[in-house]
Each structure stands twice: as structure tokens, then as C-alpha cells.
């Protein structure tokens, strides 16, 4: 069990009043709030250690380097990756996926090859592959969803073939909360010698990840969706794959020998971290992970499940409401209200202090598939409580009343 | 709750000038990709003046109601007068404050009307 009241004390922003009402922050799938610990880590770093890494031999540079590299080890252990240098720091999931598309993709995808994505994908895990397929004259195949909002695994099996070079699938949908059976997706793809990338932007924030057990080839995370600062994120890749991939960005911090005409590159992880990275944010991200570990990912998942079930129970009492959520989905509850546009829903919810997202959620093909113009979405995290859900239901009642 | 004033809700629920305009001579369509709102405009322009205006569309109350109100507001106005219309005119017409997040919704109708006028000139 989470001690939510104790947790809430770590998030000063939750004391804010919005339009005179208590804040019910239910837009966690976009980005989460940051606990005091994480904000303090940023300040501590800038006030005590700030310096560039991997460069100087002065004390501050050494301290910064040690802190930055210790964040890598923390993340490695958190995700149970085999090696610390299999963790490449990026700004976010979008950058991590583009890194794979421009390095692994450029090298290994050829004319006639196939890449498989799913209908659930966020644009971050769709457009880089569309563009790669265009550049390479490869084909993009799509695993459809079924009426129950889960992926159609029978069709997935049929899409797989010797031509499949990469399967890129989300670990959890930011729209429906669907959690695909990635273990099975990975196993099947490997039978065809295809590599697998899991977009973990949502999944890693809510579930214990064991990369060695999962055995995926790439995994991406966004620190800002799991209590970390914006600008913190990572790509995991298997060592042998990362070693074979060419660098992504070129510049300082990733070279062995440079002459006027030729350069040779360092090994992992520096090869993929050209330029001065988000040092402070990455170090503070470490604090976020430690905090999540303290609370326990299993506890977090249980807590979110309770809130999700409660929200569905309260919202489905209203006959005008349609909920888009599969059985056993994650802590994301998307809905529509008959005759009311989601932008209007979000505006009125905001009047009642309830922060929700409305729109197409960077997943246009999925919204199209659901045959609606857009969706309103509530998403939960560790500091949300039943009062937040009840406040949302109150806003829902008012919304329906206003448009009666 | 100011944003959803009586008047906006009224125009949303009972839109004026919605549907096809038989003798229109200027048309345009706009689409807001972030929310999926769509507006189409049909105008009758005679002697440099708007004599009739209809719209069609799907979207939020703000975009639909504002557009419907505009189809009444612009009747009798010259093309130059409409081209000179801008955000303050819309806010005046609605009589409410609009947050930055929703201003796009309120301006979609006007930009579609302006586009119809430009397309008409080039026809
Ligand atoms: C499933 C999923 N993938 C990718 C992303 C992109 O994350 P970021 O904006 O941090 O790169 C998001 C963010 O909304 C997401 O929910």
C-alpha cells in the first residue's frame, strides 16, 4: 500500500489552487510532477558540483562525471540491464527512437525489408519508421487492434516473415492504457531473427521492467514521465547491437583520434552521447528512480489499478459517457461524452481544478481507428487519490449539466 | 463559468446558418490538426460585400458557436472590413475572456472566412 498522503507532501505543486479549486492533476501520461527530492537534486548539483563531464581533471569535473555515471548504473539496475554501458542517455523517448532509426535503421534496413509497428503507437514510434521505410523503400506493416482494444496477435503472427527486420511496439498505450503482451511479441519476432524495440515511455513509469528477462533489443524511456526532469531519458540497446551501430550525432566527447580529414570513435556509451548532455537533469533523474524504488513499482501499479477501477466505476454510471479502456489496461482512462467536444470537457474540468488532456494525443491513426475526432483522458500516478477521482466526477456532472 | 456563456451554448446547440448555401460563390475549408475541428464556409459575395454566409463543421463549442455567430456578424460587411477583422473583434463579439489554449478554437471560423474571400478573389 502507498502512503499517498505522505507522498503528496513531496509535491509542493499539489498545494496550488486552480480557479480557486484544489488541483487534481490527472495529466500524468503527458508528464508527471516532480518530487522535492528531484528538484533539490537539480539545485544541489548546480550549487555544488556543476561542471562539464568527461573533460576536465579538476575536482568539479570529476564529481560531475561520477554523479552522471552513477545515474547510468542506477538506471541499469532499475531496468535490470546486463551492462551499464547498454544505457545511452537521451533527452526523451523521441530522441531514443530516432537514434535507433538513424543508426541501426540506416545500416540494417534495406529495400524490400519490413518493419512492423502497431495501431497503438504514439507518433514518436511511428513517424521515424515511416520515414526510414521511405528512405529505404522498405514496407511498414501494422498490427491492428481488436474491438477489445488489445492487439490482434493472430494477425501479428501472420505479418511476421523473413522480411521482418524490426518490430517496434509500445509497452503501454498513452491513449487507451492497453498493455500489449510484449514478452510474446519479442519471442515471436526473434524466431524470425527480427530485432524488437519496445517504446517504454509509458510502461516503465508504472511497471517493474526486467530487460534481461524481456530480452528485447531496444527499450526507450522518458524520465519526465516518471518523476524526472524534462530532458532526461534513455535508450537501452543490447551491447552487440550498439557496438555495430554507427554513431548518431557527431562532435565532442565521442572521439578517439581526430585528424583534419578522419576520425575514429570511442566505444559505448560515449559513442552515442556527443556534445554536452543534460547533466543536471540526468543526475536528478537518478533521484527520481531511487524514489520510485523506495515506493516500489508493484505498489505503484496496485495503487493505479485501484484509481483506474474507481474512475471507471464512477464515470460509467453516466450514460452519456463512453470509456475507451481494455480489461487490465494501465492507469489511463480515455473517454468521450456524447455531444460534447473533448476540448470543451477539458476546459470545464479545468474550471473545477481538474487537469486532463484532450485531443488526439499524438496518436492520429489510433484516434481515426476508434472512429472519433478526439478524446478526453485522465491518467494517474503515485500522488493521485480517490478525492482526485471524485473531483473529476463532479466536473463531469457539471459538464453534462452545462451542455444539457 | 464564463467561457460557456448562455450565448455560446445557444449558438452551439442551435446553430444559425448551418448547412449548404445554394447560391454561394466563395468557399473554403479549414482543419485544426490538434483537436480535429473542421469548418467549411460558403459565402455569397456581391458588389464586394457579403450578402449570405453559411457554415458547416464539427468541433468544440467554441469553434462552432463562434463561426455560427460570425455568419451573422459579417453580413453587409465589405471584403476589406472582413480582412481587417482580428482577435479583438472576435473577443468583443463573444464578450468573454479566452485562455491562450482555446484562442485557436475561437479564431478558426474567421480564418476560414478570410480564406474563402482570398480564394474568391483568385477564382
Ligand atoms: C507511448 C509514448 N511513446 C512516446 C512518447 C514520447 O515521449 P517524449 O515526448 O518524452 O519523447 C510518449 C509521450 O507522450 C508516449 O506516451
Write down the residue that cell numbers 482577435 correspond to.
B87
What does the pLDDT read at residue A75? 98
**Matching fold, domains A4-27+296-403 and A49-294:** no
pLDDT at B34 over 90: no
pLDDT at A107 over 90: yes
pLDDT at A322 over 60: yes
Output the nine-digit C-alpha cell for B83. Answer: 480582412
Residue B22 backbone phi and psi in degrees, to 5: -60, -45
Q: What is the mean pLDDT of residues A262-280?
A: 94
Between the CA of A270 and the centroid of ligand 1 the distance, in Å, is: 24
Instruction: Round to whole Å and give the CA distance between A268 and A69.
Output: 12
What does the pLDDT read at residue A117? 98
Q: What is the mean pLDDT of residues A109-118?
A: 98
Residues of A within 8 A of B4 (CB-CB) are: 344, 347-348, 402-403
pLDDT at A330 over 70: yes
Strand partners, A219: A198, A236
What does the pLDDT read at residue B72? 96
Domain ranges across chain B: 3-121
CA B98 to chain A, closest CA, distance in angstroms equals 10
- Closest ligand 1 atom to residue A361 Cα is 14
From the DSSP assignment, how many helices (H) and strands (E) are in chain A?
Answer: 16, 17
CA angle B64, B69, B75 (to 5 degrees): 130
Residues of B within 8 A of A358 (CB-CB) are: 35
Q: What is the mean pLDDT of residues A325-343?
A: 96
Output the nine-digit C-alpha cell for B8. Answer: 455560446
What does the pLDDT read at residue B18? 96
Burial class (CB in 10 A: 0-12, 13-18, 19+), A334: buried
Output the nine-digit C-alpha cell for A53. Answer: 563531464
What does the pLDDT read at residue A54? 82
Between the CA of A170 and the centroid of ligand 1 the distance, in Å, is: 10
Q: What is the ipTM score, two decimals?
A: 0.83
Q: Does A369 touch chain B (CB under 8 A)?
A: no
What does the pLDDT read at residue A243? 97
Q: pLDDT by residue (tens digit) across A284-302?
A: 999 999 999 999 999 999 9
Q: Does A336 touch chain B (CB under 8 A)?
A: no
Cβ distance A373 to B3 less than 8 Å, yes or no, reads no
Nearest Cα neighbor of A30 from A346, A303, A369 is: A346
What does the pLDDT read at residue B123? 66
Positive/negative CA dihedral, B65, B66, B69, B71? negative
Q: Which of A284, A362, A366, A370 is catalytic?
A: A362
Instruction: Round to whole Å and give the CA distance between B89 and B109.
Output: 12
The answer to whether B64 and B12 have CB atoms below 8 angstroms apart is yes
pLDDT at A210 over 60: yes
Q: What is the mean pLDDT of residues A264-284?
A: 95
pLDDT at A173 over 80: yes
Whether A133 is catalytic is no
| Per-residue pLDDT band at B33 (split at 50, 70, 90) | confident
Q: Does B61 touch chain A (CB under 8 A)?
A: yes
pLDDT at A383 over 80: yes
The dotted CATH code for A49-294 is 3.40.640.10
Ligand 1 binding site (Cβ under 6 Å of any ligand atom)? A 29, 92-94, 122, 124-125, 170, 174, 199, 201-202, 222, 362
Nearest residue on chain B to A395, alpha-carbon basis: B1
Residue B58 backbone phi and psi in degrees, to 5: -130, 150
Q: Does A360 touch chain B (CB under 8 A)?
A: yes
Residues of B within 8 A of A342 (CB-CB) are: 35, 60
Instruction: Round to whole Å and give the CA distance between B74 and B97.
Output: 21
The dotted CATH code for B3-121 is 3.90.1010.10
Between the CA of B14 and the centroid of ligand 1 the distance, in Å, is: 39
The answer to whether A312 and A335 have CB atoms below 8 angstroms apart is no
Residues of B within 8 A of A347 (CB-CB) are: 3-4, 62, 99, 101-102
pLDDT > 90 in chain A, percent: 93
- Closest ligand 1 atom to residue A224 Cα is 10
pLDDT at B122 over 80: no
Number of Cβ within 10 Å of residue A328's Cβ equals: 11
Cβ distance B1 to A348 less than 8 Å, yes or no, reads yes
What does the pLDDT read at residue A404? 86
Q: What is the mean pLDDT of residues B92-116?
A: 91
| Per-residue pLDDT band at B1 (split at 50, 70, 90) | low
Between the CA of A93 and the centroid of ligand 1 the distance, in Å, is: 6
What does the pLDDT read at residue A307? 98
What does the pLDDT read at residue A34? 98
Q: pLDDT by residue (tens digit) across B55-96?
A: 999 999 999 999 999 999 999 999 999 999 999 999 999 988
Nearest Cα neighbor of A54 from A202, A276, A264 is: A276
Instruction: Round to whole Å and give the CA distance between A227 and B38.
Output: 37
Nearest residue on chain A to B61, alpha-carbon basis: A344
Domain ranges across chain A: 4-27+296-403, 49-294
Between the CA of A201 and the centroid of ligand 1 the distance, in Å, is: 5
Cβ distance B102 to A343 less than 8 Å, yes or no, reads yes
Cα dihedral A193/A128/A28/A378 (nearest 10): -90
The dotted CATH code for A4-27+296-403 is 3.90.1150.10
Amino acid at each position: 500500500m502507498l502512503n499517498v498522503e505522505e507522498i503528496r507532501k513531496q509535491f509542493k505543486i499539489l498545494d496550488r489552487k486552480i480557479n480557486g479549486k484544489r488541483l487534481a492533476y490527472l495529466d500524468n501520461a503527458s508528464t508527471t510532477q516532480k518530487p522535492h527530492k528531484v528538484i533539490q537534486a537539480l539545485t544541489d548539483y548546480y550549487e555544488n558540483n556543476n561542471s562539464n563531464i568527461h573533460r576536465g581533471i579538476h575536482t568539479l569535473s570529476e564529481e560531475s562525471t561520477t554523479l552522471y555515471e552513477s545515474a547510468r548504473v542506477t538506471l541499469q539496475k532499475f531496468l535490470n540491464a546486463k551492462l551499464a554501458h547498454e544505457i545511452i542517455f537521451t533527452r526523451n523517448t523521441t530522441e531514443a527512437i530516432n537514434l535507433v532509426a538513424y543508426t541501426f535503421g540506416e545500416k540494417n534496413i534495406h529495400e524490400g525489408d519490413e518493419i512492423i509497428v502497431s495501431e497503438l503507437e504514439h507518433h514518436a514510434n511511428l513517424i521515424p519508421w515511416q520515414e526510414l521505410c521511405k528512405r529505404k523503400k522498405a514496407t511498414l506493416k501494422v498490427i491492428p487492434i481488436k474491438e477489445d482494444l488489445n492487439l490482434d496477435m493472430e494477425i501479428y503472427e501472420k505479418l511476421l516473415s523473413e522480411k521482418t527486420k524490426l518490430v517496434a511496439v509500445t509497452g503501454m498505450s498513452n491513449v487507451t492504457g492497453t498493455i500489449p503482451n510484449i514478452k510474446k511479441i519479442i519471442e515471436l519476432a526473434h524466431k524470425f531473427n527480427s530485432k524488437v524495440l519496445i517504446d517504454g515511455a509509458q510502461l516503465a513509469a508504472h511497471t517493474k521492467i526486467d530487460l534481461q528477462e524481456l530480452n528485447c533489443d531496444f527499450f526507450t524511456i522518458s524520465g519526465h514521465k516518471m518523476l524526472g526532469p524534462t530532458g532526461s531519458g534513455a535508450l537501452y540497446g543490447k551491447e552487440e547491437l550498439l557496438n555495430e551501430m554507427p554513431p548518431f550525432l557527431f562532435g565532442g566527447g565521442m572521439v578517439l583520434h581526430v585528424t583534419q580529414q578522419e576520425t575514429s570513435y570511442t566505444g559505448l556509451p560515449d559513442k552515442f552521447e556527443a556534445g554536452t548532455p543534460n547533466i543536471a537533469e540526468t543526475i536528478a533523474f537518478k533521484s527520481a528512480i531511487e524514489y520510485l524504488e523506495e515506493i516500489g513499482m508493484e505498489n505503484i501499479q496496485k495503487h493505479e489499478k485501484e484509481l483506474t477501477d474507481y474512475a471507471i466505476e464512477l464515470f460509467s454510471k453516466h450514460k452519456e459517457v463512453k470509456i475507451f479502456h481494455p480489461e487490465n489496461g494501465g492507469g489511463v482512462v480515455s473517454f468521450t461524452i456524447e455531444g460534447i467536444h473533448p476540448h470543451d470537457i477539458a476546459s470545464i474540468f479545468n474550471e473545477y481544478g481538474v487537469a486532463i488532456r484532450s485531443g488526439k494525443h499524438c496518436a492520429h491513426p489510433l484516434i481515426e481507428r476508434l472512429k472519433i475526432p478526439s478524446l478526453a483522458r485522465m491518467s494517474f500516478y503515485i500522488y493521485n487519490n480517490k478525492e482526485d477521482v471524485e473531483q473529476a466526477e463532479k466536473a463531469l456532472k457539471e459538464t453534462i449539466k452545462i451542455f444539457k | 463559468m464564463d467561457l460557456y456563456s448562455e450565448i455560446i451554448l445557444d449558438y452551439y446547440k442551435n446553430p444559425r446558418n448551418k448547412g449548404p448555401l445554394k447560391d454561394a460563390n466563395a468557399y473554403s475549408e479549414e482543419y485544426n490538426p490538434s483537436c480535429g475541428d473542421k469548418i467549411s464556409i460558403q459565402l455569397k459575395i456581391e458588389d464586394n460585400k457579403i450578402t449570405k454566409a453559411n457554415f458547416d463543421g464539427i468541433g468544440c463549442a467554441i469553434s462552432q458557436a463562434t463561426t455560427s455567430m460570425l455568419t451573422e456578424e459579417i453580413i453587409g460587411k465589405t471584403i476589406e472590413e472582413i480582412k481587417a477583422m482580428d482577435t479583438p473583434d472576435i473577443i468583443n463579439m463573444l464578450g468573454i475572456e479566452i485562455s491562450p489554449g482555446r484562442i485557436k478554437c475561437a479564431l478558426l471560423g474567421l480564418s476560414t472566412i478570410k480564406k474563402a474571400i482570398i480564394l474568391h478573389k483568385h477564382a
